[in-house]
Structures are given as structure tokens and as C-alpha cells.
Amino acid sequence: QLQLVESGGGLVQPGGSLRLSCAASGFTLDYYAIGWIRQAPGKEREGVSCISSTGDSTNYALSVKGRFTISRDNAKNTVYLQMNSLKPEDTAVYYCAATGLCAFPYKYDYWGQGTQVTVSS
């Protein structure tokens, strides 16, 4: 079946870094734009970043711009989210999801199970 699997989450101190990975099985990522979405306890779902199918264009939420970087390696069927200068407010479950275009309205066809990121001292 078609699946996305996130990995790389964990506990990190404020100011630290993590790199999340999103690997596809059952389909190739070459044809899909990939987004990262997060949800913190008691808060609304927030789109974090999105990358086009070719990797030629990216976008970021204002809350993470300048700190996070999205990238992809289609040969490895994997998308990454490098997170630097992490803040406690970045604490959330992070999901990756596949869509046709990084454009509103976002409609994701496939979702990963999520990976927990906790930023705390």
C-alpha cells in the first residue's frame, strides 16, 4: 500500500537542531510536491513548509522562515526537513504529506504517521 514514514524526531534543547526524514513506499515521490505539517497539543494544525516535485521551489510558514530548510532527494525517494535554532513553541507532532502542488487550497493525498518533536530544557 501507499505509505509515507517520518523519522528523526526526538527531544532537543532550545537552540538545538534536528533533521526529519520522510520516506515513501508503494509510489515514487518524483510526481508529488511534499509538505510538512505540525500539530501541537490544543492548537490548530499548521502548515510548516512545502517543496515542489522537482525541488525547484519551496515555501515556509513565517514562524519557521530562516530556521527550517526543506529539501528532497528523489533518487532516495525521501524528503527532509532540517530544523535549526529550535524553540519550545516548535514542539509538535510533525507529519509529511504528498500533494500535487504547493498552492492553496492544499489537498494531501497521502500522509505519514507523524514524528514527535519536543523542544525543552
CA distance 55 to 70: 9
Range with the lowest mean pLDDT among 16-20, 28-32, 37-41, 91-95? 28-32
- Has residue 1 got a pLDDT over 80? no
Neighbours of 101 (CB within 10 A): 13
Range with the lowest mean pLDDT among 8-12, 69-73, 108-112, 116-120? 108-112
Query: Whose CA is closest to 7, among 91, 109, 99, 81?
Result: 81
Confidence of residue 27 (pLDDT cuts 50, 70, 90): confident
Model pLDDT, residue 32: 94
Mean pLDDT for 32-56 is 96
Q: Are strands 58-60 and 115-119 parallel, antiparallel or unpaired?
A: unpaired
